[in-house]
Amino acid sequence: MASKTSTKDIITLRGSAAIVSEFFGYAANSILYNRGIYPEESFTKVKKYGLPMLLTQDENVKLFLTNLTAQLSEWLESGHLQRVVLVIMSKQTNEVLERWNFSIETDKEVVEKGVSKEKSDKEIMREIQAIMRQIASSITYLPCLDEQCIFDVLAYTDAEVAVPFTWIESDPKLIANPQMVKLHSFDTKIHKVDTLVSYKNDEED
């Protein structure tokens, strides 16, 4: 008779960095689609996290996001990444309209001692699903972007980190007196990601 035991999934630092950087790639695609930054027909539907997700087919954006997630994975693995912010700006004026803020807490013991953690893949996927659903429904709680927009990504790292030549220093692209919506968070037990979107409050005008 076969015996069955309940096993938890082991999460390593490299595995956690891969989960989080992949999440950023899908989250960025979802934000760009749901906020109408690129035309609907330039996205293709795939299944991920048990949900229908949309990925850009624009070669320039694909390349940008591929390079981005590779770099984020490296910084996550070294424990030096503090925050990633996807910024949506007016194409005409460069005014910042939205900031999608992903704050990252890293378990320093894992980075320093190489220990592993335990958490089931299903549980992590459920937490990520909740964030993706909130991004997908963002049209219901964010103001309509009724002008052509562009996006950029800011990465906040520890001061001692060497920055690749493809990255440049940037101002934080803040919004004065923004409205904020806190979204769900997810935790691999090694990296915890808190999500917040802030946006321009037109009532202030």
Per-residue pLDDT reduced to its tens digit, 60-109: 999 999 999 999 999 999 999 999 999 999 999 999 999 999 999 999 99
**Residue numbers of the domain that contains 180:** 9-161+171-200
CB of 67 closer than 8 Å to CB of 153: no
Query: Is there a domain that residue 123 lies in?
Result: yes
User: Which tens digits make up the pLDDT trace of 15-59?
Assistant: 999 999 999 999 999 999 999 999 999 999 999 999 999 999 999
CATH code of residue 143? 3.30.900.10
The model's pTM is 0.91
Given its phi and psi angles, is residue 189 left (phi above 0), alpha (psi -120 to 50 degrees) or beta? left
Kindly report the average pLDDT of the chain as a whole number. 91
Query: Is there a domain that residue 205 lies in?
Result: no
Query: Is there a domain that residue 34 lies in?
Result: yes
Query: Is there a domain that residue 4 lies in?
Result: no
Query: Is there a domain that residue 2 lies in?
Result: no
How many domains, the chain?
A: 1
What is the structure's pLDDT at 205? 43
Query: Is there a domain that residue 37 lies in?
Result: yes
Task: Read off the tokens for 109.
Answer: 């013991």
